[in-house]
Homo-oligomer: A and B are copies of this chain.
C-alpha cells in the first residue's frame, strides 16, 4: 500500500480526494498498487465532510511521516507551495501539482531536485486542466522538432469570446456574466489580460525547447479591447477570434506571445468553443496534432492530478527524465516575427459600402469607396495586402488584411503612410 497526501482542500484538492475515494479500485488497479489517501492539508476545518478523518493543519506531519511516498499539491501560488515541494522532493517524496505559478517559476529547479533524490516532479494539471498534454509531450511527441505550439489555454476568456461571437454580447456584459457563473474572478485581470495563458504557454515552450521560457519575458495582449466590430470582420473572413498563447521557433530563436488571433476554419483551434481548451503542436514529422478538453473544473483537473499520482506510484524508486534546464531559452523579439494582421483603418468619408453580405461582394464595394484614399492604397502596398483583401464593416472605417509582416515593419508602414489605425489583430 502506498500512502499519499493532498495539499489544499479547495476545488481541485477536494476533487483529487473525491476521485481517490470514488474511483478507488479503478485508480489502484491502473497504478498497480493500493493507494491510500493518508492526509489532506488545509488550514480550514470541514465539519461533516469525509475529509475530516484525514485532515491535518501542519505540513510537518506529512513530510515527516516516512510512510508518505507521494504528495499532490493543489493550493496554488508560489509560496508555501515551493517550500513544500522542495522539502518533499529532498526527502525523496514524489510531488505532483496543478499549480502553474509554481511550475512556471520553479519547474526546472524542482525537476532537478527530484532527479537528485530519485523521485519525480509531475505537473500534468498545470496546463490545460484535464487535457493530457504535458505527459504526451514528454512521452509521445519525442521524435519531432516542433516549430509551433499554440493553445487556447484559458477557459474563461474562451467562454467570453464564444459568447461575444455567437450571441453578440458586449465585453462588459459577458465579463459580468462569467463572474456571475463563477468562470471569472472578481478581479479578472489574470484571465482577461492573458497572464494565466502566459504562464501556461511558458511551461509548454520550456518543455518543447528544453530551456526556461519565463512568463515575465512574454508579450501579452488581453481581450479587453475586442469589440463586436472585430467579430464582424472575423465573420466576413469566415474566421473566429481566439486568445492564443503561441510559441514559434525560427532560426534557433523562440518567439512567444499571448494575444487575440483570427483563426481560420482549417485550423483545428477554430472550432474550440466555450470553456474548452485545446493545445495544437506542429512538428516536422507529425504536422498538426491537437489535444482538446476541459481546461479547468474540479473533476477534470483533479483527474489529471490523480493520473500524476498514479504515475508517481508506478515509478517509485526511479526518476523519469524531463528535459527542462534552468538555462534561459533564447527568445526572439515578437515584433520581429512575421504574422499576417487585420488592420482596422479610419476612412475619410468613404462610408458607402454595406457591412453585410459575403466577403467578396463587400470587398469589391469597399474597394470602390476607399480607392479614393491615397494613403490607404500606399499602406496596402507597404504591408503586402491584396486589393481584394480590404474589408469594411462600419461607417468611417475599413480593414486591411496584410501579407506576412513583422510588427516592426507594420508600425513603420503605418507611420510612413499616415493611415489612422483603430486596431489590429494577428492571424494565427
A303–B285 CB distance below 8 A = yes
Q: A residues 260-309 with Cβ under 8 Å of B? A: 265, 268, 270-272, 276, 283-294, 297, 299-300, 302-304, 306-307
CB distance from A73 to the nearest CB of B (A): 17
A139–B142 CB distance below 8 A = no
Q: Tell me whether A234 is interfacial, beta carbon within 8 Å.
A: no
Chain B positions within 8 Å of A141 at CB level: 132, 303, 307
B283–A288 CB distance below 8 A = no
Whole-angstrom distance between the alpha carbons of A306 and B142 in the complex? 8
Q: Tell me whether A43 is interfacial, beta carbon within 8 Å.
A: no
Whole-angstrom distance between the alpha carbons of A26 and B297 in the complex? 36
A302–B288 CB distance below 8 A = no
This chain: how many copies in the complex? Answer: 2
A142–B310 CB distance below 8 A = yes
Chain B positions within 8 Å of A270 at CB level: 271
Sort chain A's interface into a size bin: 35 or more
| Stretch binding the partner chain, chosen from A28-36, A48-56, A179-187 | A28-36
Q: A residues 306-330 with Cβ under 8 Å of B? A: 306-307, 310-311, 314, 321, 323
In terms of DSSP, what is the predominant structure of the interface of chain A? mixed
Q: Tell me whether A23 is interfacial, beta carbon within 8 Å.
A: yes
25 pairs, CB–CB < 8 Å, chain A vs chain B: A26-B144, A27-B142, A30-B323, A31-B142, A130-B286, A136-B136, A139-B307, A140-B304, A141-B307, A142-B306, A142-B310, A143-B303, A143-B304, A143-B307, A143-B310, A265-B271, A276-B288, A283-B303, A285-B300, A286-B299, A287-B299, A287-B300, A288-B294, A290-B291, A291-B291
Interface residues of A (CB under 8 A from B): 15, 19, 23, 26-27, 29-32, 124, 130-132, 135-136, 139-145, 265, 268, 270-272, 276, 283-294, 297, 299-300, 302-304, 306-307, 310-311, 314, 321, 323
